[in-house]
Chains A and B, each alone.
Chain A
Amino acid sequence: MFHWLEKHPFFFSVLVFAVVAFAGLIEIVPSFAQQSRPVIGTKPYTTLQLTGRQVYIKNGCNTCHSQLIRPFKSETDRYGHYSVSGEYAYDRPFLWGSKRTGPDLMRVGNYRTTDWHENHMKDPASVVPGSLMPKYTWLYKNVADVDTAYAEQLTVQRFFDVPYNKPLPMKDGSKETVKLAATLAGARAEALADAKLITANMKDQDVKDMVKEGKIPEIVALIAYLNSLK
Chain B
Amino acid sequence: MENRFKDRPLEYDYSVTKLFMWATIVLGIVGMLVGVIIAWELAFPAVNTMFGSAIAEYTNFSRLRPLHTNAVAYGFTLSGVWASWYYIGQRVLKVSMAESKFLMFIGKAHFYIYAVAVVGVVVSLLLGYTTSKEYAELEWPMDIGIVVIWVLWGISIAGLIGIRREKAIYISIWYFIATFLAIAMLYIFNDMEIPTYFASGGIGNWFHSVSMYSGSNDAMVQWWFGHNAVAFVFTTPIIALIYYFLPKESGQAVYSYKLSLLSFWGLMFVYLWAGGHHVLYSTVPDWVQTMGSVFSIVLILPSWGSAINMLLTMKGEWQQVASSPLIKFMVLGSTFYMFSTLEGPVQAIKSVNAIAHFTDWIVGHVHDGVLGWVAFMIIAALYHMAPRVFKREIYSKSLMSTQFWIQTLGIVLYFTSMWIAGITQGMMWRAHDEFGNLAYSFIDTVTVLHPYYTLRAIGGTLYLIGFIMFAYNIFKTMSARPVEEDELVNASPMGA
Contacts and interface: CB of A to CB of B under 8 A. Distances in A.
Say if A and B assemble together. yes
Interface string A71-96: 11111011000011111111111111
A115 B432 CA distance: 30
A66 B358 contact: yes
Secondary structure class of chain B's binding surface, majority of residues: helix
B60 A151 contact: no
B100 interface: no
A63 interface: yes
Interface string B373-408: 000000000000000000000000000000000000
B259 interface: no
A134 B278 contact: no
Contact of B132 (A77, A93, A150, A154): A93
B189 interface: yes
Contacts of A68: 282-283
A200 interface: no
Contacts of A35: 215-217, 283-285
A190 to B, nearest CB: 15
Contact of A85 (B177, B216, B446): B216
A62 interface: yes
B294 interface: no
B131 interface: yes
Interface in A113-166: 125, 128-138, 142, 145, 147-152, 154-156, 158-160
Contacts of B222: 93-94
A100 B216 contact: no
A46 B57 CA distance: 26
A24 interface: yes
Nearest to B54: A138
B63 A12 contact: no
B302 to A, nearest CB: 12
B331 to A, nearest CB: 29
Contacts of A19: 265, 268-269
A115 B185 CA distance: 46
A103 interface: yes
Interface string B236-273: 00000000000000000000000000000100110111
B288 interface: yes
Nearest to B181: A17
Nearest to A7: B167
A138 B60 CA distance: 11
B56 interface: yes
Contacts of A54: 208
A132 B273 CA distance: 36
B273 to A, nearest CB: 5
A135 B177 contact: no
Q: Could you tell me the dominant secondary structure of chain A's interface residues?
A: helix
Given A16-B178, A93-B222, A151-B208, A63 B169 contact: no
A60 interface: yes
B213 A92 contact: yes
A93 B218 contact: yes
Contacts of B49: 134-135
B220 A78 contact: no
A93 B65 contact: no
Contacts of A60: 61-63, 65-66, 128, 130, 132
B490 to A, nearest CB: 27
Contacts of B275: 23, 27
Interface residues of B, number: 90
Contacts of A129: 443
A101 B181 contact: no
A42 to B, nearest CB: 10
B320 interface: no
B290 to A, nearest CB: 11
A15 to B, nearest CB: 9
A152 B174 contact: no
Interface stretch (B5-13, B83-91, B142-150, B193-201): B193-201
Nearest to B132: A57
A28 B292 CA distance: 12
A109 B238 CA distance: 45
A32 interface: yes
A27 B204 contact: no
Nearest to A156: B210
Interface string B425-446: 0000111100001100011001
21 contacts: A7-B167, A7-B169, A12-B169, A21-B185, A21-B272, A28-B217, A28-B224, A31-B288, A57-B131, A59-B63, A63-B62, A66-B358, A71-B281, A93-B133, A94-B218, A96-B279, A99-B360, A151-B197, A152-B200, A155-B194, A158-B200
Interface of A: 6-7, 9, 12-13, 16-17, 19-24, 27-28, 31-32, 35-36, 54, 57-64, 66, 68, 70-75, 77-78, 83-103, 125, 128-138, 142, 145, 147-152, 154-156, 158-160, 184
Closest 7 pairs (CB-CB, A-B): A88-B215, A60-B62, A148-B204, A23-B272, A151-B204, A85-B283, A58-B128
